[in-house]
A and B are shown apart, each in its own frame.
Chain A
């Protein structure tokens, strides 16, 4: 213990040296600063908005989606080609974009290119010619390996300048044409518009039904809730895939039927979540306070409950939309959805697959489009979920 006493003594001396006597009087009680709040006060939505915008991926996704949505309306009008102008003479043209065609970026040069094998260079070259309409003058051959007479030892790369061969040096199909000669650029944006439209409408209607159903069940509770939930449980038990397939078999193919099918199966998720949230909120004190002050049920629902569940509704919708887009594409892919000549992302991908070997670009463009859209919605949904979670507010 002695050591400590000495330390203590030392401490006392060193500090008391600089302790002037005048300061040893009772302090005037200044305003009590201990209750002051040190940070700026913000509302919940301001915090949520801040957190969302800090998420670079989510913001990027929003921007991308807005661009895509705008383009889906504007895009088809940007060139003179129509949605369904068929012309077999111009079928299966590769993508060609002015300016880009002169840059060493593959894919937009307006040529078809592939490797061909043979036992010698001549045989390989002949294979190339026969694939590309025998237009020898417009095919450039590059020898990759000479070969030695054995099977497939020689390889050449052939570049077919299709536009020149068909006398279309002045025409540009920015994303190429399909097997019927239709402009892909126009069809892509049309298809995107159709797919997005279906998805948004279906999601919106699901939202309204789901919120109403779940809200009523959650708010009124008791018998009402019991009955509504029993029905819901059975409905949820039926796989939505099955219902959608059955519906599409019966209804005439088209946008309306898909929307109906998607809506019938899409509202259940929202209903469940909304009910859960409403039940949680219903028992919190601010609702009790509102009731004590005599507000009507309707007012309580609108003014107090809705703003608090709006977050979760928005988030859920962000995830419902990609589900709808997927189902539409899937249905069109297996032939139960949109039918040609109408364009949707699903039909475009379907046709794309038919040509994947020789003209893969017909698949890539719609595939990239749908991928970007789905990823964007998922990222936004994730970002919103984080933004509305108070634990994530920094």
Chain B
């Protein structure tokens, strides 16, 4: 299991009229070949900024990578020029965005949009690229691909368009696919189809996937490992089993607890009160403290470091410190954990 992508201490800020907004404040994670890492978090947690940084697509001059490394197959992407990144984008690393209704060029035939990358990165002729494009459309499950290749995006439904976007992303056999909430804008049934599609394709191509979502149900479905982000930092990271059976960070408890499940008859959903902090003036100490029922005094003073729970499982909470009182997850969360264990797998 070799590391395909390694992000080390990444810090990204945005320069706005009101000041400097610290969107990403020291993020460390890695992705192995062929595995799926899910990044979970609320809006504003920094997940999209992180992936934009990986792709080199941060809007300049407002955004600045203040420090850190992004090692892709050993090379630091942060140090690469835009021209060098253009060779990597679409070929080695590609991306699928959230809104299929606006992600495709409305005045360009779908086939041409797929072929563009093939011609540029793989030097194919138009005929070769056309053939491959038809194959790709077939692969993503679009019927009559030879006909539909000449159609325009508005002639496709939302789910179909997302399949086209996936086809474009896969065209050059990328080693890493970043999917930024690809199913959020779709109906639940279509969502399931797209997720199945992505899993199938991953089996065929063995590419790694970074899957961004705020939906833990999706995480359970597709991910091998999970990173939970809050206020620009990763607060808990581990395998799917670690996170669902043995979560340690109060924020993760909150996320799990706020998932409605079919067999929660009585209690209210454990909802996390309040809203994410203002990243213009990040609070001293743990950013989650104001909303954390289980905050310790030290959370208000000092940021917790990453504590290791196992080879695969880490969490950044003072609750794991030897001096900390032993706190159990709230009842509703525990119930869910037991529920996961009983069904012997994901939720």
Contact = CB atoms under 8 A, between A and B. Distances in A.
B307 A12 contact: yes
Interface stretch (B103-111, B157-165, B269-277): B269-277
A14 B325 CA distance: 21
B294 A26 contact: yes
A14 B278 CA distance: 28
Given A8-B306, A21-B323, A35-B275, A26 B295 contact: yes
A15 B305 contact: yes
B329 to A, nearest CB: 15
Contacts of B308: 5, 8-9, 12
B262 to A, nearest CB: 31
Contacts of A5: 308, 311
Given A19-B321, A24-B323, A27-B300, A12 B295 contact: no
B290 interface: yes
Contacts of B304: 15
Contacts of A35: 274-275
A23 B311 contact: no
Nearest to A39: B18
Contacts of B299: 27
Nearest to A34: B274
Nearest to B307: A12
Interface in A281-324: none
B148 interface: no
A219 to B, nearest CB: 31
B297 A15 contact: no
A38 B306 contact: no
B324 interface: yes
A19 B317 CA distance: 13
A244 to B, nearest CB: 38
Interface in A1-53: 1, 5, 8-9, 11-12, 14-16, 18-27, 29, 32-35, 38-39
A394 interface: yes
A11 B316 CA distance: 11
- For A5, A14, A16, A39, the residue with the greatest tally of chain B CB atoms inside 10 Å of its CB is A16
Given A5-B308, A394-B17, A27 B289 contact: yes
A312 to B, nearest CB: 26
Contacts of A16: 321-322
Interface string B1-23: 00000000000000001100000
A26 B296 contact: yes
A9 B311 CA distance: 12
Contacts of A19: 298, 302, 318, 321, 323
Interface residues of B, number: 35
A25 B321 CA distance: 12
Contacts of A38: 278, 280-281
B296 A27 contact: yes
Nearest to B304: A15
Given A19-B321, A32-B273, A35-B275, A24 B306 contact: no
A16 B290 CA distance: 22
A25 B296 contact: yes
Nearest to B293: A29
Nearest to A8: B308
A16 B318 CA distance: 10
A134 B290 CA distance: 94
B314 interface: yes
Contacts of A14: 305
Contacts of B296: 23-27
Contact of B277 (A11, A24, A27, A34): A34
Contacts of A12: 305-308
B86 to A, nearest CB: 30
B41 to A, nearest CB: 16
Contact of B301 (A1, A8, A23, A32): A23
B295 A24 contact: no
Contacts of B280: 38
Interface of A: 1, 5, 8-9, 11-12, 14-16, 18-27, 29, 32-35, 38-39, 394
Given A11-B306, A19-B321, A26-B296, 5 more contacts: A12-B307, A12-B308, A15-B304, A20-B298, A24-B297
- Which 8 residue pairs of A and B lie closest in terms of their CB atoms, listed nearest first? A34-B274, A23-B298, A24-B323, A34-B290, A23-B297, A27-B295, A8-B308, A15-B305
15 contacts: A5-B311, A12-B307, A16-B321, A19-B302, A19-B321, A22-B297, A24-B318, A25-B297, A26-B294, A26-B296, A27-B297, A29-B293, A33-B290, A34-B273, A34-B274
